Amino acid sequence: MTYHFDFGWLIDSLPVLLKGIRITVQLILIGAVFGVALGIACAWVRALGPKWLKPVVATYVELIRNTPFLIQLFFIFFGLPSLGITMSELTAANLAMVVNLGAYSCEIIRAGIQATPRGQFEAGASLAMTPFQAFWYVVLVPALQRIWPALSSQIVIVMLGSAVVSQIAAEDLTFAANFIQSRNFRAFETYIVSTLIYLALAILLRQLLAGLGWMLFPRKASR
Amino acid sequence: MTEFSFWDILRNLLLAARWTVVLSLVSFIGGGIVGAALLFLRIGGRHWLRLLSRGYIQLFQGTPLLMQLFLAFFGLGLFGVDVPAWLAACVALVLWTAAFLAEIWRGCVESIAKGQWEASASLGMGYLQQMRYVILPQALKVAVPPTVGFSVQVVKGTALTSIIGFVELSKAGSIVTNATFQPFTVYGLVALIYFALCWPLSKSSQLLERKLNVAHRNH
């Protein structure tokens, strides 16, 4: 093999890479916050919500979990304009990530809620909590604590999946890598560098979520 | 200019869906074999082999599948061979599937009580014998639902191979869209075909889990 690796392009391309990293981070931050919020709302509907809404949410969850993210993205970005709904690439990418994570986190949070004994909910009601208060303090928070590791991995998976948004020209890290390799013709080196950046981002995000879990759910001393 | 009827679109998509199925099968079977080898290294094996397979698993679980596809596509090309898209797609998907399956199966093996290892060791069994006669038969039962569940991820993962130019269901969707200018219908249909492939797998994974859990509770 007479191939010589060349990373000389790295310095010139740094601003492009940094911008890509910024967009990817921005996408996952917005996606995670709104996706988990949507997941909580859907989990509430499936646990306690109005009866007519339950099949709607169940269909949404099954549809999203059984189709590729790429197709969801294409449907939102290319398909929805036929209905008169147009949006920028970044908005479409964000929307797709929120919709995707919403379905997965709904399923994860629901599993956590199901593990909560029914009696706790009734105990909450007997303390004169409103149904919402009982759901929030008695059911949801312990459920979130229980499923926090699973939810964290799902958020990391969605972050890695976001590489695909480059396909609708949202200028994330993969888009930056594609752009750079089309200039320097060093495809392999470029993708190695961006893969390592993704790896670092994934490790960082995992640590961050673990720290957040520590802050949100401090271990009770009495146990 | 040719007009495309609804049936023309559907027929073309279904023809392309065959390649999604083939690619999924290849990745799943290939990934299963490589994953099993990784599993053996991950739980038995020498210390450095264990570290190596752990590093492999973390590397593949911590990077986007799309990047792995790009690296397979351009990396294999470094050896001076002309890499067809299907080969890069198969290589990347097999390696990616292997990492996830090995990790899933490791969890299943570790769920087997430690006493089983000790009991079989006290009978003078070697590592491979312990695995073959004691651990794997029990772990297999636990492993079936999550493995079937992961096959859904494999089918969805094949969609990414369209990006390096392999013509399967997603790529066919893009091609047909470019010919018909009906993205809503075409991508809607593509999504439904994926759903038809994946949903039975998800459902059977759930059913299996419930069934095996019942068996577990009776112990």
Three-state DSSP string of chain B: CCCCCHHHHHHHHHHHHHHHHHHHHHHHHHHHHHHHHHHHHHHCCCHHHHHHHHHHHHHHHCCCHHHHHHHHHHHHHCCCCCCCHHHHHHHHHHHHHHHHHHHHHHHHHHCCCHHHHHHHHHCCCCHHHHHHHHHHHHHHHHHHHHHHHHHHHHHHHHHHHHHHCCCCHHHHHHHHHHHHCCHHHHHHHHHHHHHHHHHHHHHHHHHHHHHHHHHHHCC
Band (pLDDT 50/70/90 cuts) for residue A168 is very high
Beta-carbon separation of A71 and B184 below 8 A: no
Q: What angle do CA B20, A151, B114 make, to 5 degrees?
A: 90
For chain A, the 3-state helix, strand and coil shares in percent, each to the nearest 5, are: 80, 0, 20
Q: Which two tokens stand for residue B138?
A: 């029990």
Is A4 a member of any domain?
no
- How large a percentage of chain A has pLDDT more than 90? 66
pLDDT of residue B216: 53
Is A222 a member of any domain?
no
pLDDT of residue B219: 44
Q: By the 8 A CB rule, do B78 and A186 touch? A: no
Closest CA to B166 of B56, B98, B99, B66: B66
Tell me which residue in B62, B156, B202 faces A203 most closely, judged by beta carbons.
Answer: B62
Q: What is the number of domains present in chain A?
A: 1
Q: What is the pTM of this model?
A: 0.90
Beta-carbon separation of B160 and A70 below 8 A: yes
Top-ranked range on mean pLDDT: pick from A1-10, A118-127, B102-111: B102-111
Q: Is B181 on the interface with A (CB under 8 A)?
A: no
Beta-carbon separation of A81 and B183 below 8 A: yes
How far is residue A76's CA from residue A164's CA, in Å, rounded to a whole number? 14
How far is residue B4's CA from residue B23's CA, in Å, rounded to a whole number? 28
Average pLDDT over residues A144-154: 93
Beta-carbon separation of A68 and B170 below 8 A: yes
* Secondary structure letter of residue A54 according to DSSP: H
Q: How far is CA B182 from the centre of its chain?
A: 31
Q: Which residue of B has its CA nearest to A204?
A: B62
How far is residue A79's CA from residue B181's CA, in Å, rounded to a whole number? 10
pLDDT of residue A221: 44
Q: By the 8 A CB rule, do A161 and B157 touch? A: no
Q: Is A105 on the interface with B (CB under 8 A)?
A: no
Which residue ranges form the domains of chain B, and what is each CATH number? 6-217 (1.10.3720.10)
- pLDDT at A220 > cutoff 60: no
Is A205 a member of any domain?
yes
Q: By the 8 A CB rule, do B20 and B168 touch? A: yes
CATH code of the domain in which A115 resides: 1.10.3720.10
Q: What is the pLDDT of residues A54-105, one digit of tens each?
A: 999 999 999 999 999 999 999 999 999 989 998 999 999 999 999 999 999 9
Is A2 a member of any domain?
no
Is A91 a member of any domain?
yes
Is A1 a member of any domain?
no
Q: What is the pLDDT of residues A172-214, one digit of tens each?
A: 999 999 999 999 888 889 999 999 999 999 999 999 999 999 9
Per residue of chain B (219 residues), what is the pLDDT tens digit?
577 888 989 999 999 999 999 999 999 999 999 999 999 999 887 899 999 999 999 999 999 999 999 999 998 888 777 889 999 999 999 999 999 999 999 999 988 888 999 999 999 998 889 989 999 889 988 899 999 999 999 999 999 999 999 999 999 999 999 999 899 999 999 999 999 999 999 999 999 988 877 555 444
Question: CA–CA distance from A125 to each of A47, A141, A160 (Å)?
Answer: 16, 16, 41
pLDDT of residue B24: 97
Cβ partners under 8 Å of residue A61, min gap 6? A42, A103, A106, A107
Average pLDDT, chain A: 91
Band (pLDDT 50/70/90 cuts) for residue A217 is confident
Residue with tokens 């099993």: B36
How far is residue B176's CA from residue B17's CA, in Å, rounded to a whole number? 13
Q: By the 8 A CB rule, do B164 and B88 touch? A: yes
Cβ partners under 8 Å of residue A195, min gap 6? B63, B64, B67, B68, B71
How far is residue A198's CA from residue A5's CA, in Å, rounded to a whole number? 21
From chain A, the residues in CB contact with B162 under 8 A are 70
Beta-carbon separation of B163 and A160 below 8 A: no
How far is residue A165's CA from residue A162's CA, in Å, rounded to a whole number? 6
Can you say whether residue A29 is alpha, beta or left, with left for phi > 0 and alpha for psi between -120 and 50 degrees? alpha
Is A191 a member of any domain?
yes
Which structural domain range is residue A206 located in?
10-216
Q: Is B116 on the interface with A (CB under 8 A)?
A: no
Cβ partners under 8 Å of residue B202, min gap 6? A62, A65, A66, B149, B152
Mutate to test the interface with A, among B23, B59, B66, B169 (most CBs of A within 10 A): B66
